Structure 1
């Protein structure tokens, strides 16, 4: 392979077998020029991207700080090993671009916010663990201490890059709906839910599967009529709070929970109220 274009010290564009490829490796392009042979012993990664994606990636590699690019690649490699799964090639563009912009903002003193950090941390635990690894690596290399909200952003990028995962928009929608439900439970039941508590985790796990059933069009678990009446009578406050949450979901998101599901959510609310 011969160099067609040098993007930075660690990345070049080549034509191989009639296809344009991006080749990366530490110091691969140092003191090289166009038409020089790419040293095979320095090749670490080869990318074959669609034309539009390739142009975007080339722009990033040519303009972003090499330290940011290197960190993004190391995070991606770690995440693939940690999740034991390959990630979509687009993450090399999406995460690199996001990470560099986030680091610039932090270095300039601008805060980073993420309203869905708690939900992302719970929904995508392995990805969040990879984000925590990234936090330590960034601090070690650049001396920048990224906040938990940025760890959650990185985790979401990793999650949506998994081959069988929903899109970023769909993942954000799920996390947003869960956050709204928890807020409505707090509002209607008159309580504050501690995100680290086991009861919070049980509630969110139950809601996550309930939302999946709605999305897939699956049947909800039925409930015995006597049990339903008992919940309504014995845990009336929790059931009323659950009904209000269900009404909100129907009005805001067109999500229609049956009465059996409202009863199961009421049981979780009752546990939280205790």
Structure 2
């Protein structure tokens, strides 16, 4: 065990992995050779490549405990509303953001975030959760954050799906998702309803497709007969899907096989069915 301060220590779990433990008086009057008093442990943080132990301990020394508690409550709410990918790894970056946002709000400083329109249309569930988080912060801490804070908070919840330390990846993907939607509309000569269920499902598909790019390559040509059938019945949509696939290969360096083009074409067919001519 390594004592950081009276309330934070570094220790090893049952698998000999380093964890950061927090609890009132957990490090007070103890030695490195002493066992951890489990009854005093209030929070356990598991370090990662992007949040090493020294990062976590420095954070815990700087962030007020009440800000951390609200962030944990928001993450629990996010897990219920969005899924298990909103896990404890989100707590630290979320608490860090909330703490700075609270300071800005108390000082009357308001920031305009880019991609506001894109985030509102592409991530409606995350935006809804972020607005609940703003209300929860107000209820727990008595400070009302500007409505604009729903934008970066939503991106934190989107980023949870990719488990990335770098928010720039989510910003880049958001710009790309918006560009793909625009490209589909232009290619087919349609006006897409950005608030429709079809658009929401299309963006969800792109998000999972983006996540799969970091995993093993998916075998292709599983649905060649279905691909041929769809090309006969919906040639424009398949052509559009191949066009989008070429863009993703060129701009994002994504692996886009025939199966993925098929999935894109199916989603684009649904988009076309619910759109109006531009």
Smaller-chain TM-score bracket: 0.5 to 0.7
Deviation at 1:149, TM superposition (A): 0.9
**Partner residue of 1:45 out of 32, 43, 46:** 43
2:234 aligned partner:
231
Count of residue correspondences: 256
CA contact under 8 A between 1:4 and 1:35: conserved in structure 2?
no
> Deviations 1:198-235 (Å, cap 9, x if unpaired)?
33234435556776788524436333756534433xxx
* Unaligned segments of structure 2, at least 5 residues: none
Normalising by the residue count of structure 1, what TM-score does the alignment of the two structures yield? 0.65
CA contact under 8 A between 2:159 and 2:170: conserved in structure 1?
no
2:8 aligned partner:
12
1:35 aligns with 2:29: yes
CA contact under 8 A between 1:68 and 1:99: conserved in structure 2?
yes
* More moved, 246-255 vs 181-190: 246-255
CA contact under 8 A between 1:119 and 1:179: conserved in structure 2?
no
> Deviations 1:23-45 (Å, cap 9, x if unpaired)?
434xx25xx98417998766422
1:195 aligned partner:
194
2:92 aligned partner:
93
2:111 aligned partner:
110
- How far apart are the structure 2 equivalents of 1:245 and 1:19? 44
Normalising by the residue count of structure 2, what TM-score does the alignment of the two structures yield? 0.64
Deviation at 1:119, TM superposition (A): 6.8
2:270 aligned partner:
268
1:155 aligns with 2:149: no
* More moved, 13-22 vs 110-119: 13-22
CA contact under 8 A between 2:86 and 2:157: conserved in structure 1?
no
CA contact under 8 A between 2:67 and 2:98: conserved in structure 1?
yes
Query: What secondary structure does 1:110 align onto?
Result: coil
Shift of the 100–216 alpha-carbon distance from structure 1 to 2, 3 Å rule, reads farther
1:71 aligned partner:
70
Deviation at 1:71, TM superposition (A): 1.8
Shift of the 178–24 alpha-carbon distance from structure 1 to 2, 3 Å rule, reads same
Shift of the 192–101 alpha-carbon distance from structure 1 to 2, 3 Å rule, reads farther
CA contact under 8 A between 2:119 and 2:151: conserved in structure 1?
yes
CA contact under 8 A between 2:190 and 2:272: conserved in structure 1?
no
Greater radius of gyration (CA): 1
Deviation at 1:152, TM superposition (A): 0.9
2:22 aligned partner:
24
1:121 aligns with 2:123: yes
- How far apart are the structure 1 equivalents of 2:129 and 2:87? 16
> Deviations 1:64-83 (Å, cap 9, x if unpaired)?
33332232233234445666
- How far apart are the structure 2 equivalents of 1:241 and 1:113? 28
Deviation at 1:159, TM superposition (A): 3.2
